[in-house]
Structure 1
Amino acid sequence: MRNSLSTLCDHFIENRDNIKKTFNWESAYLIPICAAMFANERQKPDANKMKHCRDILKEQVGLFSNFRGTGKLVMITMMAIDHNPEHKLENALEVYSSLKKHFFTSQYLPLVSMMITNMAGSVRYDTIAARTRHIYELMKHDHPFLTSSEDSVFAALLAMSELTDEQIVEETKRCYDCLKPEFFSGNAVQSLSHVLALCEGIAEDKCRKTLTLFNALKERGRKYGTNYELATLGVLAMIPADEASVIDDILSVDRFLSEQKGYGIFGIDKKQRLMHAGMLVTSDYIGVPDGLTSSTAVNAAMSLIAAQQAAMCAVIASTSAAASSSGSGGA
């Protein structure tokens, strides 16, 4: 395994274990995602800072606020990553107010709010919120039975892209039509199509690369998940690197994770483990600036970063929904 990737893997496991010690009652599915978020920023979680962020959250939002719902640990993580968590939450609440003018409140809006504060200036909050709603309506028009509040995450990412609304609709549709015959879950394919729409390139080529990667991993004995994991596959397929090298890296990280506590028989299953491996490989490639000497290369890297955030938010949203559903079932 390459040194940079090996170091990233070690940091990921260390981050996961440290977060678990501090928030051991939180979801076993969310903790690795938060660990990966710190790893993406090449940061290590500070227990005292995370507790401080938790306290800020308690002080600033009510007990029944969606900021303190099933995705609370994600909110804490996003604040802790920032150098000024108080200001981060203040901006997120401002975006949240703008979004609530256009959306019914949901557990996904805080994720969208935090994401927008990372990628946009405050003068654009109202404009982005309105465009997010418009893009969401276009999604719903094309797929009324598939589109739900979870898709507001992707709508926000697309709203901050340089694509026109018409380009977004066309690109997403072409990707969806190309991929749907290959996968059972229409909802997962829709999420994957949104991720691919964020990346540069011809729709058919992007879909072909995604399917080639999926089949190549399957041939090597690793079947990639086709539910909420699918969005991260699109990110991997768009990495500007040799496909064989990417596959070798994924398999190396997957083997490493299989030897770690929490990924065994009674831990996280093989499909999620492979998704975590893919996220780490993507993070390693994105974190390497070598070769980004042209504007085209820089734009491609930025597209990958945006797509990775979208994929991670999809995972967070899905695991949050699963946790919520489980809690309701036991009531």
Structure 2
Amino acid sequence: MQVDMIRHEVETTYDKVKSLAGWSVTKNVVLTITSYYVTATEEFNAVNFSRAMASLKERAGWFSPLRGHLLPMMAAFMTQSANSMDEEADLLFVKQRALKQAGFRNSIHSYLAALLMSDDPKMFEEEAERAKKLYDAMKKQHFFLTSEDDYAYSMLLGKKGEDPELHARAMRVYYDALRKEGFRAGNELQWLSQVMTYTDITFHSRLVKRAAEVFKMLGDDLKVKPIHYPMIGFLTVFDVGDQKISEVISITNELERSKQFKWNREMALSLACGIMLHHLTESANQVGVSMATSFEMVLQAQQAVMAVTVASVAISSATSSSDV
């Protein structure tokens, strides 16, 4: 991969998104939207993006969690659909209502989870209930850590159809094992433990060792933070080799040279990981990425990681500002 071309694409897409998203949108959100288009090699379509934002605004009440600086991010994720933006917005709200009926709270995280649902209305209730059962089982394993920012992972992993109690228990086993390898306790480690069950809920100690190896490889050259734990998980479960990890480091270093990442360097590594995973899924025979259920699910997983991360940061920042 030509890292200079990747950097150019990021800078170009960033400027286009920023011009349409509005002055009130935080830089982290603009970078996440940019990451979505660059990672999925989707060309930014200004018309569709604007229509998606307008459709969401028309349907969101004044006190809706969609209002504010996170709305452009949701609009970007909607543009991947072949439906009209009005149809896609209507579908999103129907999905979110199904999640609310299943017991999920009305928050930005429930809308993120709704994005990961299928488009078959006959499946909405079943998918919502599966996600809620897994979420409740996760809550039993980690009562204080499990919160709204786990909604998207509950949906993504709940669609696997595993026994929720066994699945949640596997996450806890991974959490404890990863903690012993030096990963910092907290929400990010819980996300990593969830990702480790993406392809198989059976505990494998070798995956724990490999995650630690990937963490060290990245940490030797880059500043790796807990926020990167989920991406380390995907690099691990998709068996990404050392050579490709080195490429991730090269891409990250190139992106960090861009002014867009001057105060957001942690986003550079997340984007580099996403680009690598997308590249490998296009030639799945290379490194065992064929373990993934489908190319689309891998992309959805990446989007969920980025969206949940940014939503958590944005919401906490807004809360802190309001308390001042």
Q: TM-score, normalised by structure 1?
A: 0.87
CA contact (8 A) 1:70 1:324 kept: no
Distance 1:214 1:90 in 2: 41
Q: 1:246 aligns with which of 244, 250, 253?
A: 244
Q: 1:312 aligns with which of 303, 306, 310?
A: 306
CA contact (8 A) 2:109 2:308 kept: no
Q: Which amino acid aligns with 1:193?
A: S
Which position in structure 1 is the counterpart of 2:274?
Answer: 279
Which position in structure 2 is the counterpart of 1:47?
Answer: 46
CA contact (8 A) 2:10 2:35 kept: yes
Distance 1:22 1:70 in 2: 12
Task: Please report how far the alpha carbon of residue 122 of structure 1 lies from its aligned counterpart in structure 2 after TM superposition.
Answer: 1.8
Task: Please report how far the alpha carbon of residue 302 of structure 1 lies from its aligned counterpart in structure 2 after TM superposition.
Answer: 6.3
1:22 aligns with 2:16: no
Which position in structure 2 is the counterpart of 1:65?
Answer: 64
Task: Please report how far the alpha carbon of residue 7 of structure 1 lies from its aligned counterpart in structure 2 after TM superposition.
Answer: 4.4
1:86 aligns with 2:86: yes
Q: Which amino acid aligns with 2:11?
A: I
Which position in structure 2 is the counterpart of 1:168?
Answer: 167
CA contact (8 A) 1:238 1:304 kept: no
Which position in structure 2 is the counterpart of 1:115?
Answer: 116
Which position in structure 1 is the counterpart of 2:319?
Answer: 325
Task: Please report how far the alpha carbon of residue 92 of structure 1 lies from its aligned counterpart in structure 2 after TM superposition.
Answer: 1.0
**1:64-111 deviations in Å (ceiling 9; x for gaps):** 212224421211112223232222111111111111111222221111
Q: Which amino acid aligns with 1:263?
A: F
CA contact (8 A) 2:53 2:75 kept: yes
Task: Please report how far the alpha carbon of residue 202 of structure 1 lies from its aligned counterpart in structure 2 after TM superposition.
Answer: 4.4
CA contact (8 A) 1:99 1:129 kept: yes
Distance 1:41 1:212 in 2: 27
Q: Which amino acid aligns with 1:28?
A: K
1:198 aligns with 2:192: no
Task: Please report how far the alpha carbon of residue 274 of structure 1 lies from its aligned counterpart in structure 2 after TM superposition.
Answer: 2.3
Which position in structure 2 is the counterpart of 1:144?
Answer: 143
Matched residues, percent identical?
A: 20
Residues 111 and 167 (structure 1), Cα distance of their counterparts in 2 relative to 1, 3 Å cut: same
Which position in structure 1 is the counterpart of 2:211?
Answer: 210
Residue-pair matches, total: 319
Distance 1:152 1:290 in 2: 28
Which position in structure 2 is the counterpart of 1:224?
Answer: 224
CA contact (8 A) 2:238 2:289 kept: no
Aligned alpha-carbon RMSD (Å): 2.5
Which position in structure 2 is the counterpart of 1:10?
Answer: 8
Aligned residue for 1:124, secondary structure, equals: helix
Distance 2:225 2:251 in 1: 16
Task: Please report how far the alpha carbon of residue 62 of structure 1 lies from its aligned counterpart in structure 2 after TM superposition.
Answer: 1.4
**1:148-205 deviations in Å (ceiling 9; x for gaps):** 1111111111111243324412321221111123222322111111111113474322
CA contact (8 A) 2:65 2:107 kept: yes
